Structure 1
Amino acid sequence: MTARPTIALTMGDGAGIGPEVCLAAALHPELQAAARLVVIGDARRMRQAAELLGRQEEIAAVSKVDDHEPGRVNVLDLDLLPEDLAWGRLSAVAGDAAFHYVRVACELAVAGTVQAIATAPLNKEALHLGGHLYPGHTELLASLTGTEEVSMLLSTPKVKVIHVTTHLGLLDAIARIEPGLVERTARRGYSAMRASGIAHPRIGVCAINPHAGEHGLFGYNEEAIKIAPAVELLRAEGMDIVGPLPADTAFFLAGRGDYDLIVAMYHDQGHGPVKVLGIEAGTNITVGLPVIRTSVDHGTAFDIAGRGIADGRSMIEAVRQAIEMSGPA
């Protein structure tokens, strides 16, 4: 019998919907059958989430991953949150706790104790208030694993997008883009598509400017200087890659199936279409880490936290993809 992988689910910001969506994934019968699921977080907060959702299943605090038992929600309990933590409110304590959930999960993954990490959302402002000055999960994971450069890949049933830049202001993002970074990002995306079972990925690369600059009419010739050299190099190596394409055209073509992957130049260029085309089942995969990490494709949703109405489908899909990517233990 093939051993099931062990997947760490980080609880995210305890004031947001992280506990609720973690509970939805941890109790999902198909996921329970496919893997050993361990939530890295606070058992008391998970019990509070279960109570507001009307779930009666046992929430068990464990001190190590090997204490996992089937038929219950196993929580590696860091016990960092106060009992009276308010739902839906910014909290330095919750931001600090969210950092430590990820830190512990990374340590377990690097040691091989868990085979993958699936992260619930954290709040960047709360993270900063808690003393951890990272732009987001992606940069935090890179720092914790000593990885110099990683990429964010968003996956939905209709389109997959990898980002050349992520958490930067638009002017800073454009300044950061250069042929080497575009090339390395496209290579990471190509490898991720191959690993997912696509033997010959078809890749479309977005331009920066409207109409791909219209031959210098818009912008300052960024497409020719920053993007085209990377595409030409990869095409010469045999990669099926096209660009730079106007972003609106690229996503239309990807939506109808012409491309397996789109390379977006900056955060909102990639995130906007993905959220229109499938945020409910969308996931975020960090490509380039020495560990497997998937995540929900949404935020902490403070406006609905603690009301028992959070949609757990993205977290379920993130765990499903983590299981598929990790394989047997």
Structure 2
Amino acid sequence: MPNLRNLTSNQRPRIAISVGDAAGVGPELAIVCAGLPAITARCHPILYGPRNVLDRIAGEMKLNLTAEVLDVGDIDSASVVPGKFNAATGQASFDAFDRAIADAMAGRVDAIVTGPIQKEAWYDAGIRFPGHTEVLADRTGVDDACMMLTSDIISCVLVTIHIPLADVAKSISVDSILRAIRLGADALSRREKRAARVTVCGLNPHAGENGLISHGEETQFIIPAVAAARALGLEVTGPLPPDTAFTPTVRAATDVYVCMYHDQGLIPLKALAFDDAVNVTLGLPVVRTSVDHGTAMDIAWQGKANRTSMMAAIEMAIDLSDG
């Protein structure tokens, strides 16, 4: 097993890039971005994934594979078909990510950047985690990590993540909402170098209309969480009706939104910043960022994938590693 400390520079943060599903666009984006002078000047990138597949992709796409590679994820390179995920590609992507977490927890790398996985491939491989965030929470012993999607124009923290919509109302609590507010405010305050302005969305249409079109979620959970956050000195607005929370006027007065469920935050964010957004997991003992797009199987290994989100994810991981 390679000693990563011997592979990396003491001056630059060591960034583990878990390349994602081998049949998707993650590996090609990782190869390209990890070799750019703008990246290598600031960090030492290490690609986590099956070396044989990375070599094949680099060869077929005529890419220069210059980054260090930690060979992890047992897979037959010849069997990988671009755009066709399966249990083997799912297991390989999981193994690479799992190793990156272990190395981050052990201090062998300073941050993790994740390429896109195919959740169906994980399922086919018998892996029952819904996604990256849940694996991170399990491996780091954190019960209530939060997902934040962020860009220069909009940032959203999610109170609940990958659960069915029917389960959202019973899954929110004062504590979980307050934690999302605190973590989002802290992250954006560090980025903006001032107190962050937080806007909290209601769960129901019209933010419950004073209980008329709700089961009391706003009054029982969201309003008390907002009050508790204000008592901590945080600048918090809400709960606002979700259908008006993302208007230009409100966005201009908001640094970070707290959203009750996945699509409440991801729909406006992807509509406004699909290519530029970065996924950051808050509340962990390790730094983790990710691209905010999927595996794009339809354009895998064709050189058509937009590298903007991968670049932004690596740059944010560097910034967070630097404190």
Q: TM-score range by the shorter chain?
A: over 0.9
* AA in 2 matched with 1:36: H
Contact 1:254/1:262 (CA < 8 Å) preserved in 2? no
Matched, 1:49 2:43: no
Contact 2:73/2:91 (CA < 8 Å) preserved in 1? no
Cα distance, 1:39 vs. partner? 0.3
Q: Structure 2: how far apart are the matches of 1:173 and 1:184?
A: 16
Q: Structure 2: how far apart are the matches of 1:229 and 1:256?
A: 23
**Equivalent of residue 44 in structure 2, options 33, 36, 40:** 36
Cα distance, 1:307 vs. partner? 2.1
Cα distance, 1:253 vs. partner? 4.7
Q: How does 1:69-88 map to 2 (within 5 A)?
A: 72-78=66-72, 80-84=74-78, 85-88=80-83
SS at structure 1 position matched to 2:245: helix
* AA in 2 matched with 1:91: N
Cα distance, 1:90 vs. partner? 2.6
**1:17 alignment partner in structure 2:** 25
Cα distance, 1:254 vs. partner? 7.0
**1:3 alignment partner in structure 2:** 11
SS at structure 2 position matched to 1:122: coil
Higher relative contact order (CA 8 A, sep 6+): 1
Contact 1:203/1:261 (CA < 8 Å) preserved in 2? yes
**1:200 alignment partner in structure 2:** 195
Contact 2:73/2:93 (CA < 8 Å) preserved in 1? no
For 1:116-149, what per-residue CA distance to the aligned partner results, in whole angstroms no more than 9, with x for missing partners? 0000011111112112110111001111222221
Contact 1:156/1:279 (CA < 8 Å) preserved in 2? no
**1:322 alignment partner in structure 2:** 317
Cα distance, 1:29 vs. partner? 1.5
Q: Structure 1: how far apart are the matches of 2:192 and 2:320?
A: 11
* AA in 2 matched with 1:288: G
**Gap change, CA 1:166 and 1:254, over 3 Å in 2:** farther
**2:87 alignment partner in structure 1:** 92
Q: How does 1:197-276 map to 2 (within 5 A)?
A: 197-253=192-248, 256-276=251-271
Contact 1:159/1:254 (CA < 8 Å) preserved in 2? no
Structure 1, unmatched stretches of 5+, are 60-71
Matched, 1:289 2:289: no
Q: Structure 1: how far apart are the matches of 2:128 and 2:115?
A: 19
Q: Structure 2: how far apart are the matches of 1:222 and 1:267?
A: 17
SS at structure 1 position matched to 2:275: helix
* AA in 1 matched with 2:162: H
Cα distance, 1:215 vs. partner? 1.9
Contact 1:105/1:117 (CA < 8 Å) preserved in 2? yes
**1:62 alignment partner in structure 2:** none
* AA in 2 matched with 1:243: G
* AA in 1 matched with 2:45: L
SS at structure 2 position matched to 1:174: helix
Cα distance, 1:197 vs. partner? 4.1
Q: Identity of counterpart residues, as a percentage? A: 39
Q: Structure 2: how far apart are the matches of 1:273 and 1:79?
A: 35
Q: Structure 2: how far apart are the matches of 1:104 and 1:255?
A: 41
Cα distance, 1:35 vs. partner? 0.4
Structure 2, unmatched stretches of 5+, are 1-8
Cα distance, 1:211 vs. partner? 1.4
* AA in 2 matched with 1:48: R
**2:128 alignment partner in structure 1:** 133
Contact 1:179/1:229 (CA < 8 Å) preserved in 2? yes
Contact 2:158/2:258 (CA < 8 Å) preserved in 1? yes
**How many residue pairs get matched?**
314
SS at structure 1 position matched to 2:17: strand
Provide the aligned C-alpha RMSD in A: 1.7
Contact 1:164/1:265 (CA < 8 Å) preserved in 2? yes
Q: Structure 1: how far apart are the matches of 2:156 and 2:189?
A: 14
**Gap change, CA 1:79 and 1:238, over 3 Å in 2:** closer
Q: Structure 2: how far apart are the matches of 1:108 and 1:125?
A: 26
Cα distance, 1:221 vs. partner? 2.8
SS at structure 1 position matched to 2:148: strand
Q: Structure 2: how far apart are the matches of 1:79 and 1:146?
A: 24
* AA in 2 matched with 1:77: D
Q: Structure 2: how far apart are the matches of 1:31 and 1:25?
A: 7
Q: Structure 2: how far apart are the matches of 1:203 and 1:282?
A: 18
Cα distance, 1:255 vs. partner? 6.5
* AA in 2 matched with 1:196: R
Q: Structure 2: how far apart are the matches of 1:32 and 1:254?
A: 39
